[in-house]
Amino acid sequence: MSGILQDRVAIITGAGGGLGAAHAKVFASEGCAVVVNDINTDAAQAVVDEITNAGGKAIVNSSDITNYDDSLNAIKQAIDSFGDLHIVLNNAGVNRDRMFASMTEQEWDTIMAVHLKGHFCMSSHAVHYWRGQSKEGKPVDARIINTTSGAGLQGSIGQSNYTAAKAGIAALTLNQAAELGRYNITANSVAPSARTGMTSAVPEMAERMAKPEDGSFDHFAPENVSNLLAWLASAEAAQVSGRVFEAEGGRICICDGWRTTDGVDRGAPWPPAEVGEAVKALLAKETPAQKVWGT
């Protein structure tokens, strides 16, 4: 197989199903050697089998992305098996949906571990490897691709834990891009909208995202998102970093982040009783944020 990812090596987390499996297959079809990471080894093996049967290169990795030491094994396996590592695509995720007033500590901690810490662990070890290469004078052209969500960008009723983690991932991406460019490492994040196991578990979403039976364009096919990620992982995207994209169907967008407005400045402290007038003036000039999902 040949394509825009020829001779590149990627680790894709949570690639045993859903979006991760689609990413792995598209990457492999573009010539990438893929480490299919998933704690469900049977599911990961099925993806690997499909890739290798089609002539691609892939292996299973079952490292726990929430365990820092175990995550290192994925990086070692990629290098031992394929000779190098160029891309970490952090995709793995879970849901523990609950209204904030009813949310448990365990539901909060699980989401933070899988999403935020999971994005940290694998990327941290990969960055150590790439920084070492850079310091040795070896060429580096590396990619970190993170997975955020519209829920993290706008909020989502019943998902306070998930929205907080996904917002954290978007902010992490900006910092990674700012800090790691010196080593020729880019960092970008994508908020996907596609049909997955998690969306199919919600009846309304399952109906809305169902595959068309007439053979027309499958708007919510996960591969639509994977195609953008494959390009971001390629050598062609070396100058694109610190961006948060949204991808749905045939539509690709860049998300604008928080921006500071002109503000109201009196050049002296605001007496508490007069702050209300300043806030009123600010609100009159603001561009309202997008509405929270579910409101």
The token duo for 106 is: 């365990």
Catalytic residue among 29, 129, 156, 166: 166
Active site residue 68: no
Active site residue 291: no
| Per-residue buried b or exposed e for 51-75, using 16+ beta carbons within 10 Å of the residue's own CB | beeeebbbbbbbbbbbeeeebbbbb
Query: Quick check: 222 and 18 in contact, CB under 8 A?
Result: yes
Catalytic residue among 129, 162, 189, 234: 162
Active site residue 57: no
Catalytic residue among 71, 123, 149, 160: 149
By annotation, the residues acting in catalysis are: 149, 162, 166
